[in-house]
Structures are given as C-alpha cells and as structure tokens.
Structure 1
Amino acid sequence: MLTKTRYLFILAATFMFAGCASVTESGYYWGNYSETYYEYIKAPSEQTVTNHLNELNNIVDTSKKKGLKVPPGIYAEIGYITAKRGDSDDSIAYYRQEAELYPESKGFIERLISDQK
C-alpha cells in the first residue's frame, strides 16, 4: 500500500514530465507546476511550499478561466498541503473536489479523509 507522501511524490513525478507547455496535448493546463514542485522537493521550506501552493491555486484558476478541466491530483495536493498546515476542514473539501472530478481516485481520497478524522 502506498503512503500518502509516496503517492503524492509519484503523482508529482509523473506530472513533472508534462513540460512547460501552457496546455498539454491531453488538454490540461500545468503552469509552472514542475518548477515549483522541484524547488519544494529540492529545498523544502515554508517559502517553497507556499510558492508551490500558490502555483497549484494558479493552475486551478487558469484552468477554470480557460474552460479546462483541472489536472488530476491538483486538488488532492492542495488538500494535502492544507492538511499539513493544520486545516483539516478545508483539506477535506479539496479532497472531495478531487474525488468528484476524478471518481477513480475516490478510494484513495476516502483513505486520506479517514486518516484525518
């Protein structure tokens, strides 16, 4: 069974190869995800996690403005960071958004939610 951290790392590593394109062939907007995630992993600090969280929120906002589906894992990652910062109510809301948008993630998301309760 994958731990939450390992899952997020695998998920992020997968998306790091999305490149710098504004919108990928699959129709997702990734913004500067690769860069901010790399900086966060390379030198974890409150500043790098804040920069990455800001980029995640930018991806959500830009995707909505462009009429695109928010990429898989983005809401879950926002929820995870939010949970690490101690806001379990908001993190659960983000987890639920992920499960609603990507029903195939529901089992994993439900485990994340139950771990917080």
Structure 2
Amino acid sequence: MRKVIIPVFALCMCLCSCQKVLYTHYNYDEVVYSFAKGNKTFEAKDLKKMIKSYERIVEEPKGENAVPPPGACADYAYLLYLQGDKDKAKQYFQKEYITYPESKTYIEKLMQKIGL
C-alpha cells in the first residue's frame, strides 16, 4: 500500500506545482533587442516590424488572464503615434490604463506630454 501512496502523492505534488503563464510576449524580446543593439533610430521598416510584433501581443493576448502584458498597450500606442496614427494611439493608451488602472496617472501625463 505504501508503495502506491508515495508515488501517487509525488505525482500530485508535481502536477500542482506547474506554473501557469500570465502573459504571452511572442517575439517581443527579439524585436526590441535587435532595435536596441542597432543604431537606435527608427527607420520605417523597423517601426513597421515593431508595430507588427506589438500588434500580435496586444490583439492576441494569451495566458491565464488573457490580457496584454503591462506596458504593451502603451508601447504599441507610442509606436502608432510615431507612425502618425494619433487616434489609434490614443485608443491604446486608454486601453492600457483601463487594463492596468495603477498606470493611469503616468499614461495621462505621457499623453499630455506628446500632445494627445
């Protein structure tokens, strides 16, 4: 009996300790790293690549809560602003502080600073 209980208990403990993913970043690290190690200027092709990467993070959130990671909507909004799409940028800044209310003061100041 003891030979059965110990392995079953160990299996239960292993299954209970599986960590759930809160957010999905897709290829965010690669895109940001490639930009950071380069000349640090936004060219149109780099901007489009980063926007496409962020769009997937923001529009297709996966994970336990199915929400974008903190700051992703704000980063995406700023990239949209740099591209000239101010209406959509404002929408994603608002989405950031609706999703994460603690960021509202910061996001509002940022929006005010860039003129949105």
- What are the ranges of 5 or more consecutive residues in structure 1 without an aligned counterpart? 1-23
Secondary structure at the residue paired with 2:59?
Answer: helix
Which gives a bigger RCO, structure 1 or 2 (Cα 8 Å, sep 6+)?
2
Residue 64 (structure 1) shift: 5.7
- Is residue 85 from structure 1 mapped to residue 83 from structure 2 by the alignment? yes
1:113 is aligned to 111
How far does residue 61 in structure 1 lie from its aligned partner after superposition?
2.8
Pairwise CA RMSD of aligned residues? 2.3
Larger radius of gyration: 2
List gaps (5 residues or longer) in structure 2.
1-18
TM-score scaled by length of structure 1: 0.69
CA distance in 2, matches of 1:30, 1:110: 24
Q: Percent identity, aligned pairs only?
A: 29
Q: Is the contact between residue 53 and residue 78 of structure 1 (CA under 8 Å) also seen in structure 2?
A: yes
* TM-score calculated relative to the size of structure 2: 0.70
1:42 CA displacement: 2.4
- Superposition pairs for residues 27-66 of structure 1, below 5 Å? 27-43=22-38, 44=41, 45-63=43-61
